[in-house]
């Protein structure tokens, strides 16, 4: 997805990023994927982000376990604080989509196909995969989970929902296969500083 038309080059003020941009990098997607919640990401960027956050969480948990073992060796009778369920849930926050609140799973990402406009006389870059209507920041659209094709919500309401069949490949659709495309800023919540403090407090509760 390169060479975006100038009329789509930047989001209108107050509207956020353009519809074809990654919600993590805020740059146009070359290999777009979408979550079940309808948030668009560059595949490489979101997979690298997930991997880095899982790695960071793993390091913190290992540090916690190592410290607990040290404390128990020094004082077998010491009751080491047990992390609460809320703490574990907060620790996973970096993997949540801040808009939908759902954990992003790599195996649930859906490939997205924006159909290009081939008529050089048309200024828009992409079109609805069914009606050929041009797509823009002011057009509501959805991804069809059975094909990854992007269509307008008007097409969904007027045509697709009547038979619940993907017009681009003939596959039957479920309601969950029609994924309204969302727009916004970064799709991941940043690490809550309070989580780090709680983990540090537990690890420092016993001083040699």
Cα distance between residue 42 and residue 27, in whole Å: 8
pLDDT of residue 99: 56
Any long-range contacts for 40-47 (C-beta under 8 Å, 24+ apart)?
40/112, 40/181, 40/182, 41/109, 41/187, 43/109, 46/22, 46/104, 46/106, 46/109, 47/106
Q: Residues 71-77: what's their mean pLDDT?
A: 82
pLDDT of residue 132: 95
Task: Answer whether residue 90 shows pLDDT above 50.
Answer: yes
Instruction: Summarize pLDDT for 95-120 with one digit per residue, the tens.
Output: 666 556 667 788 889 999 999 999 99
Strand order in the sheet with 32-34: 40-42, 32-34, 110-111
Instruction: Summarize pLDDT for 111-147 with one digit per residue, the tens.
Output: 999 999 999 999 999 999 999 999 999 999 999 999 9
CA torsion, ordered 62, 64, 66, 71, to nearest 10 deg: -170
Q: Residues 167-183: what's their mean pLDDT?
A: 95
**DSSP letter at 114?**
P
Cα distance between residue 95 and residue 189, in whole Å: 7
Between strands 40-42 and 110-111, the pairing is unpaired
pLDDT of residue 96: 65
Going from the C-alpha of 2 to that of each of 64, 116, 126, the distances in angstroms are 45, 11, 11
Q: Which residues contact 134 (CB under 8 A, 6 or more apart)?
A: 117, 122, 124, 126, 127, 128
Closest CA to 4 of 126, 104, 108: 126
pLDDT of residue 21: 94
Instruction: Summarize pLDDT for 3-16 with one digit per residue, the tens.
Output: 444 344 344 443 56
Cα distance between residue 26 and residue 205, in whole Å: 41
């Amino acid at each position: 997805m390169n060479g975006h038309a100038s009329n789509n080059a930047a989001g209108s003020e107050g509207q956020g990023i353009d519809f074809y941009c990654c919600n993590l990098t805020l740059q146009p997607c070359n290999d777009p994927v979408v979550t079940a919640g309808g948030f668009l990401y560059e595949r490489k960027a979101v997979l690298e982000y997930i991997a880095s956050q899982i790695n960071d969480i793993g390091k913190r948990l290992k540090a916690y376990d190592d410290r607990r073992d040290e404390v128990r060796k020094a004082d077998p009778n010491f009751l080491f604080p047990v992390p609460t369920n809320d703490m574990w849930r907060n620790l996973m926050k970096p993997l949540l989509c801040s808009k939908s609140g759902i954990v992003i799973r790599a195996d649930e990402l859906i490939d997205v196909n924006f159909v290009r406009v081939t008529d050089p006389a048309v200024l828009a870059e992409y079109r609805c995969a069914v009606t050929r209507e041009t797509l823009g920041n002011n057009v509501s659209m959805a991804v069809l989970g059975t094909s990854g094709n992007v269509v307008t919500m008007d097409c969904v309401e007027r045509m697709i929902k009547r038979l619940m069949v993907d017009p681009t490949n003939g596959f039957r659709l479920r309601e969950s296969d029609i994924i309204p495309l969302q727009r916004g800023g970064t799709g991941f919540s940043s690490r809550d500083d309070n989580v780090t403090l709680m983990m540090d407090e537990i690890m420092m509760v016993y001083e040699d």
